[in-house]
Amino acid sequence: MKVIAIITLHVDGKTILPGKSVDISDEEAKSLIERGFAKSADASAVKEQKPVQTQQSEPAIDDVIEAIEILNPETDFAKNGKPKVEAIEAVLGQNISADSRDKAWELYQKELEADEASGDDVQE
């Protein structure tokens, strides 16, 4: 199944940048689509997936932190060291404010410091 990357994907040793398409197994494609990492390149499937535009509240800070955890440090972070709002939005599939990003980033940094202090460097 052909999909279009929403975030940077790594497939068979190749890097697929957001907006680029790649042909992968149906099972893997469905998994990526369900998690919001890719969308179907099939025109009829894209039409089905298109959400109705409604006024959405911003995602929970915990969701923003989870999105930060899976970002690519080489492409999804700005020169100031913070994750790009656009990269987080691509993972979540909804808009966030820079203020929400900043709050999540601060909490994420504190979690990392706490993990290091406790000697817990196991990453999921």
Residue 90 structure tokens:
């691509």
Query: Is residue 98 within a helix (H) or strand (E), and if so which, with residue range?
Result: helix 98-118
Tell me the per-residue pLDDT of 77-124, one tens digit each, with 9 for 90 and over.
999 999 999 999 999 988 999 999 999 999 999 999 988 888 765 554
Q: What is the pTM of this model?
A: 0.52
Angle subtended at Cα 70 by Cα 95 and Cα 80, rounded to the nearest 5 degrees: 70
**String of b and e for 37-49 (b: at least 16 CB within 10 Å)?**
bbbbbeeebeeee
